[in-house]
Structure 1
C-alpha cells in the first residue's frame, strides 16, 4: 500500500482481480491479507449500520421494501402484519400462502432459492487449503428469485459420441466401516421411467437442471454429521473443507493411526462397492497403499492429473515406468506395463507385502478438468466401460479418487450407479442417487455442471445400448 493513490483502487479493477482469483480456485495463493487502508481512504459510515461502526439506522422492513422495489416486486399492504415478517398464515383467515405473498409485476408468484454454506467454517483451519475458496472474505447463504425462465433450444454440451456397454449388478459385498444393509441407492426422490426422464430433461433444459441442483443439493459440507477423526488429523487432509464422515470412513489396521481420508460407498444393490478417497499427500502415500492392501483393492480409478493449472492435485504414489519399483511403508509397488491412450492411461501394477503378491490395475482418465466435466460424454462412457471390464475380473471394492475425492469422483459413481439401475429396472433416479451418495461421502458432486453432465451421460448411454432413439 506504500505510495498508493486513489486511482490505484478503481472499483472495476478490484472486481476483475477478485474474479480472476475466484476463477482459479483453489487459488495459487493460500491467503489474501486485508491490511490497514491508506490514509486517503474514507469508510462510508453513512451507509453502514451501527453494528458495523457506521451511522445508518437499520430498518429491516424498509430494507425488504427497497429490495423488492429494486427487484420489480410488490408486497401486499398487510405483508408485515399477518403473522410477522414473512407473512405467516392466519388460521381460518383464508389468507394466501407464503409462496403467493411475494409477486412480480406480472402478478405471478415469485420463487426463492437458497443455497446454504453448510457451516463449513469449523474446517477452515489456519494454514489449511480450502477446496472451494482459497480467498475467504465472508461466507453465508445466498439466494435469488426468479418468476420466469427462458429456455434454450438445447442443453449445452449435449453432443453425442462414442459408446459404452453395461454390466449386470454384482453380488452384495459387506465390509468394515460401511453400510451393513444396502438398498437400491434410492432415497428421498422418486424414480421414473427412461422415457419420463428424457422428457423431463427436454422440458427442463440445462437451466432447469442447474436450478434443481442449487435448490435441492447445493453445497454439502457434512456439518450436521460427526467428523471427529477428520478434525483430529488435520495434517492428513488435503483440503480443510472436505470432511471425512466418521460413520462410513475406512479404518486402517496395525499402524499408529487408523485414519485415512476415505469413505465406503454403496453401489447399486452392492454394499461397499467403492472406496472414495482424496488424492494422496506425499506423507499419506503409505496409508493409501495400506488401505489398498488391507481391503484387497484390485482396481484404482484416478480422474485427475498430478498437476493442473500449476497446482499439485495429487502426489505421485505409484511407479510410472515399466520395471520400476517403489516401497511405500510395508508395501512394495512395481510397474509391469503402461498403455498410454488419448484420454486413458492404464498401468498394470503388482503390490507385495512380505511374501504375498497381488495385481492392481491403475486407470487414469486425463481429460477431466477440476470443477468441470469431460469434453464429451462418449469419452467418459468409454472410460467407465474400461473400468467395468477390468473390475469384473477382480475381487474387492473399486477405489476411486480425484483431488478432493468428491467432485469428479462423485460424478463417476453417480453415472455408474444410475447406469446399473437403468439396465436392471429400466428406471432412473439421479437426484436420489446423489442424495444417497452424500450420506456416505459428503460433498459428492460439487457443481451444477457435473449434475447436468450426469443426465447427459445417462441419456447417451441409453441411446448407445438401444433404449432410446439415437436422436
Structure 2
C-alpha cells in the first residue's frame, strides 16, 4: 500500500561516520539489498491532473510528482497545459526547501518553457549531466554553444541537417534567441571532465547572468569513469552558489545580475544522473558540516520530491563510492598541518571553500 512505502521514505535512515562509510561502500551486497528496499515513488499518470501533459514529457513513464512540481506562471503567452514543465523542486541539505530543481533534458518544443523556468525561479546555475545524443537524442541543444564546442556538436549531430548544426555554433558575444529570451556566451572554459559556459540572458531590458555546467562523460543508466571529476564539479557548483549569496558590494552594478534561486539540474529523464549529482552534493555538505552522512535518508528524501531518483543499483553504489572518496579527502585535509603544502586541485578547492 502507498501509505506503507511513503512511511518507509519518510523514516528510512542509516547515518555513517567516516570509517563506517568506507566499510559500507565496499559491501556491494548490502548496498544492493538496501537500494532494492527503497520505494521508487513513481507517479501514476492518473495522479497528474494536467490534461495534455504527455506532449511535454520526454519519457511517458517519468512524470513530475504533483506536490512538488514546478508550475510556470508566465502571463505573457499561452504555455499550454497549466504552465506545465516536467520538473520538481528538490529539498537540499537539512531539508532546505527548493534548493534544487530536477528536470528532464529540454525537447525541441520545450526549450522556451525551460528558460521560462530559469527566469521565473531566478536560477543562476544550470548543471547538465548528459550528452546531447547517446544512440538517440537525450537532450535538445538549448543554449548558445561556445566556439570550442563546435566540433563536438558536429560529431554528435553529423547525421542531422546542416542547418540545425549551424544554429548551434555560436561566436562568443553573438546574441541568439531561445524562447522569449536573448542570450549570448560571455565566457567559457574547459575543466577536467566538464565545461563551464557563462551566459548573459535578457528579457526586454533586464539582463541576468547564468552559469551553465556541462558534464558530458556520464553515460545514461550508468556511472562516470572518474569520481574525481564529479567531485570537482560538485565543488565548483557549490563554491559558485555560495559566491552568489555573498553580501552585496557597495560598488554600482553595471553588468547582468545573477539570481539566487534553485540550482537546476538535468540529464535526459531527470532522475538517474540528476539524482546522483544532487545526492552527492547533499552528502558532501553533510560530511563537511557533521562528519557523517546518511545516503539512505537522502535518497529517500529525493524520491519523495521526484520519483525514481537514482535509477540503478550501480548508481547507488557509485554514490557511496563517491562520498567515501570525498570523506577520505576531507580526513586527509584535516590531517595536514600546513595547508600550503597541499597538492592537487581537489584539496586546494576544499581548503578555499572552508576558508570562505
TM over 0.5: yes
Change (3 A) 1:285 1:461: same
Task: Quote the residue 1:209 is aligned against.
Answer: 31
Correspondence for 2:64: 244
Q: Distance in 1 between matches of 2:212 and 2:56?
A: 23
2:196 paired with 1:196 = no
Secondary structure, counterpart of 1:392 in structure 2: helix
- Distance in 2 between residues matched to 1:435 and 1:224, nearest whole Å: 21
Say which of 414, 425, 430 aligns to 2:295.
430
- 3-state DSSP of counterpart to 1:400: strand
TM-fit CA distance, 1:224: 9.7
Out of 211, 223, 226, the position equivalent to 2:47 is 226
Indicate the SS of the match to 1:228. coil
Q: Say which SS state the counterpart of residue 374 (structure 1) adopts.
A: coil
Q: CA deviation at 1:201?
A: 3.5
Write the deviation string for residues 20-41 of structure 1: whole angstroms up to 9, x where unpaired. Answer: xxxxxxxxxxxxxxxxxxxxxx
Q: Which residue number corresponds to residue 296 of structure 1?
A: 122
CA distance in 1, matches of 2:23, 2:262: 35
1-structure distance, mates of 2:225, 2:192? 13
How does 1:111-122 map onto structure 2 within 5 Å?
none
Q: After TM superposition, give the deviation of residue 218 of structure 1 in Å.
A: 6.3
| Distance in 2 of aligned mates of 1:190 and 1:224 | 32
**1:238–1:224: structure 2 CA closer, same or farther, 3 Å change rule?**
closer
Structure 1-normalised TM-score?
Answer: 0.57
Q: 1:260 to 1:459 in 2, by over 3 A?
A: same
Question: TM-score if structure 2 supplies the norm length?
Answer: 0.74
Q: Which residue of 1 aligns with 2:107?
A: 281
Shift of residue 393 of structure 1?
Answer: 2.1
Within a 5 Å distance, the mapping from 1:70-149 to structure 2 comes to none
Cα RMSD for the two superposed structures: 2.4
Map of 1:344 onto structure 2: 194
- 222, 229, 232: which is aligned to 1:379? 229
Q: How many residues were matched structurally?
A: 283
Q: 1:264 corresponds to which residue?
A: 89
Match of 1:335 in 2: 185
CA distance in 1, matches of 2:205, 2:196: 26
- Cα pair 1:225 1:245 within 8 Å, conserved: no
**Secondary structure, counterpart of 1:346 in structure 2:** strand
Residue number among 315, 318, 335 corresponding to 1:450 in the alignment = 315
Q: How far 1:338 moved relative to its partner?
A: 2.1
Q: Please give the alpha-carbon distance, in whole angstroms, between the structure 2 residues aligned to 1:194 and 1:391.
A: 26
In structure 2, distance between residues paired with 1:323 and 1:419 = 36
User: How many Å separate the matches in 1 of 2:46 and 2:322?
Assistant: 31
Q: Which runs of 5+ in 1 are unaligned?
A: 1-115, 119-184
Distance verdict in 2 for CA 1:372–1:325, change over 3 Å: same
Contact 1:265 1:272 (8 Å CA) reproduced:
yes
More helix by share: 2
Aligned residue number for residue 59 of structure 1: none
**1:6-85 mapped onto 2 (5 Å cutoff):** none
Q: How many angstroms apart in 2 are the aligned matches of 1:252 and 1:207? A: 43
The Cα shift of 1:197 comes to 2.8
How far did residue 210 of structure 1 move? Answer: 1.8
Larger Rg belongs to? 1
Report the CA distance shift for 1:324/1:308 in structure 2 as closer, same or farther (over 3 A). farther
For 2:300 and 2:122, how far apart are their aligned partners in 1?
28
